[in-house]
Amino acid sequence: MDKIKTILHKEWAEVFKNRMVLFATIFLPLMMTALPLIILYATAGAETGDFTSQMPKQFREFCPEGLTGGECFQYYIVSQFMIMFMMIPLIIPVNIAAYSVVGEKTTRSLEPLLATPITTAELLTGKNLAATIPAVIATWIGFAIFAVGAAIIAKSQALLGALLDPMWLLAIFLVGPLLAVLSVNFSLMVSSRVNDPRVAEQLSSVVILPLLALFVGQISGFILLSRSLVLIMAAVLLVIDLGLIYLSVQLFERETILTRWK
Amino acid sequence: MIQTENLTKQFKTTLAVDRLTLQVQEGEVFGFLGPNGAGKTTTVRMLTSLIGPTSGKAIVNGFEVGKQDTDIRRSVGILTETPGMYDNLSAQFNLEIYASLYEVKDPKGQIEKYLRMLGLWDRRNDEAGTFSKGMKQKLAIARSLLHEPRLLFLDEPTAALDPEGARLVRDFIEELRKQGRTIFLCTHNLDEADRLCDRIGVFKSRLLVVDAPARLRSQLFGRKVVFHLHAPAPGLAQTAQALPFVQEARLVDNKLLVTLEDPDLHNPEIIRALVGAGAEIQFVGELRRSLEDVYLQLVKAA
Ligand SMILES: Nc1ncnc2c1ncn2[C@@H]1O[C@H](COP(=O)(O)OP(=O)(O)O)[C@@H](O)[C@H]1O
Ligand SMILES: [Mg+2]
């Protein structure tokens, strides 16, 4: 445990000296939080007219009970941004993991590190947590700010209830961390094969594509997030995560790390 | 302290270490001498449980490579070929990380002790990236000593340094030797091996020869003794050659050059034989061969 803590401490001290990483970890969540709040605020006056009939048919069915047409529209728009919010736990770890592995490569610090009695599992856990924890915390703080902001801006209790629906809580508190783990392990694997953090980030961004597809799908009305879909996502992610963790433990034998991560 | 038996490492296309069998005694400074690409680093990596051997066996500090790897890592110190410091972190922080990973009991005390000993205490809060090569190397030496290993692997500790830096590091190795630590020193620098080591193993994928530096010079080639004669006498070469312990005898002008293994023991007998054959010997001397000759000949032949 102490060794994992040491690795965490070291990773954070190193990685957060990088402006790119710092920027992504702080500004990205702030931006993703601010956008839906601004939208919520700007659309607060959209009470006039019958928006409900102009909305995609599927959405009307899912529109929570007790919302006025305008609120329903607000809920619809803000939901889109909530999905973008899920990108925070994907993007931040990519950044941290890519810079951490490529950093070890450029300073050639892996050999002395692997010569210590630290186990490979401890090292990988340390690197995983170093990237996952800031991502999850940033997501949660972002969501907390959003919740407080929404409570202030939302005009009705019904709208607030819809925005802070258990579905979203599940998405943030369960799917978020699972996405972060996925992203970390994927970028650890990618970063171990390339020598440029930017390339590693670009390659790792592949993991963001499915979520973008979801975003576009939702906007165009093909896919609608529901509690059951969020739960299915969580289950699928859990399986993928376990698979990835198993793979990375298999892949990153000490000798492989030493001879490949260079 | 170290025993290996047919230790072998085969990379995809390269046989980096070929059936290395070797013993290093406690308290000894062992020089592992070989050109670039000889497989020195690969050997050190196997002996410090960083990579696994393809075949063969090695016992380090009483622990077996491949079976008790964590025990080995815990009990040995290693100065890797490149210092591998975290450049963005302070010298002190770099050492704190390693003190924790090596489970050092009194990290603060140990860090201060070695930073002071290596003259880096005043720079402890500076980022390692601002250090010169020599200072980084010293910091890396401090890092390898925090857990007070009795066995220390040094992989080309002076290769990247200027003469002054190299001198400082060599003096420090001398200091460590006085403390009774066992040192496995990889180097391609003959002078360094000659000055620091109790024994030298010349290595190029295979272990070519192992001995004390002085004996390496003589045993391998024999030593050359010169007999200065008052006047050249043709029969004297044959007289010397006839003696069983003489490897070669040659007359050049009025000098008789005799190659033999142990002049201290056999010179009197040669002199007796030569005088018996009518030689007038003016004086006797030894032609010293440099270790470099020995080394280059060995390595070229391998
Ligand atoms: N991970 C590796 N994969 C393939 N070949 C390697 C690897 N490491 C070293 N080698 C090869 O093994 C040989 C010995 O290398 P090395 O042990 O670094 O030599 P030295 O330290 O004596 O200069 C070289 O030919 C080198 O190219
Ligand atoms: Mg080497």
Question: What is the structure's pLDDT at A105?
Answer: 81
Question: What is the structure's pLDDT at B297?
Answer: 72
pLDDT in tens, B38-71: 999 999 999 999 999 999 999 999 999 999 999 9
Angle at B51 between CA B46 and CA B56, to 5 degrees: 50
Tally of CA atoms within 13 A in the half-sphere of B195 that contains its CB: 12
Angstrom distances, CA of residue B184 to CA of A109, B25, B301? 21, 10, 25
B219-289 topology per CATH = Alpha-Beta Plaits (3.30.70)
Sorted by sequence, the CB contacts under 8 Å of residue B285 that are 6+ apart come out as B225, B226, B228
pLDDT in tens, A227-249: 788 888 889 889 998 998 888 88
Question: What is the structure's pLDDT at B138?
Answer: 93
119-138 in chain A: CB under 8 A from chain B: 119
Residue A50 has pLDDT above 60, yes or no: no
Structure tokens at B35: 């050109």
Task: Look at chain B and count its residues.
Answer: 302
ipTM of the complex: 0.81
Query: Residue A55 and residue A57: Cα distance in Å, rounded?
Result: 6
Question: What is the structure's pLDDT at A35?
Answer: 84
Tally of CA atoms within 13 A in the half-sphere of B8 that contains its CB: 9
CA-based nearest distance B146→chain A, Å:
11
CATH 3.40.50.300: does it fit domain B2-211? Answer: yes
Query: Are the beta carbons of A255 and A114 closer than 8 angstroms?
Result: no
Sign of the Cα torsion B154, B156, B161, B166 reads positive
Question: What is the structure's pLDDT at B67?
Answer: 93
Q: How high does pLDDT run on average in chain A?
A: 80
Neighbours of B234 (CB within 10 A): 7
Tell which residue, A191, A197, A193, A178, has the closest CA to residue A244: A178
Confidence category of residue B97, pLDDT binned at 50, 70, 90: very high
pLDDT in tens, B29-45: 999 998 889 999 999 99
Torsion of CA A190, A194, A197, A203, to 10 degrees: -40
Confidence category of residue A193, pLDDT binned at 50, 70, 90: confident
Domain ranges for chain B:
2-211, 219-289
Query: Residue B216 and residue B116: Cα distance in Å, rounded?
Result: 38
CA-based nearest distance A259→chain B, Å:
9
Question: What is the structure's pLDDT at B113?
Answer: 95
pLDDT in tens, B147-189: 999 999 999 999 888 888 899 899 999 999 999 999 999 998 8
Domain ranges for chain A:
2-261
Question: What is the structure's pLDDT at A211?
Answer: 66
Ion ligand 2 nearby residues (CB, 5 A)? B 40-41, 81
pLDDT > 90: percent of chain B: 61
Question: What is the structure's pLDDT at B220?
Answer: 60
Question: What is the structure's pLDDT at A91?
Answer: 83
B191 compared with B281, residue with greater pLDDT: B281
The amino acid occupying position B44 is V
Q: Please give the DSSP secondary-structure letter assigned to residue B289.
A: P
CB contacts < 8 A (A, B): 71
DSSP H helical ranges for B49-149: 69-75, 91-101, 107-117, 133-145
A200 compared with A2, residue with greater pLDDT: A2
Residue A57 has pLDDT above 70, yes or no: no
A8 compared with A187, residue with greater pLDDT: A8
CA-proximal residue: ligand 1, atom 4 (nearest): B11
Query: Residue A129 and residue B253: Cα distance in Å, rounded?
Result: 80
Say if strands B182-187 and B15-24 run parallel, antiparallel, or are unpaired.
unpaired
Q: Is residue B154 classed exposed, middle or buried when 0-12, 13-18 and 19+ CB atoms within 10 A define those classes?
A: buried
Confidence category of residue A80, pLDDT binned at 50, 70, 90: confident
Neighbours of B6 (CB within 10 A): 14
Residue corresponding to tokens 């085969």: B10
Pocket test residue of A110, A259, A260, A261 for ligand 1, highest count of atoms within 8 A of CB = A259
Residue A61 has pLDDT above 90, yes or no: no
Question: What is the structure's pLDDT at B175?
Answer: 92
- Using the Cβ of A109 and the Cβ atoms of chain B, whether some distance falls under 8 Å is answered with yes
Confidence category of residue A53, pLDDT binned at 50, 70, 90: low
What's the mean pLDDT in A140-161? 83
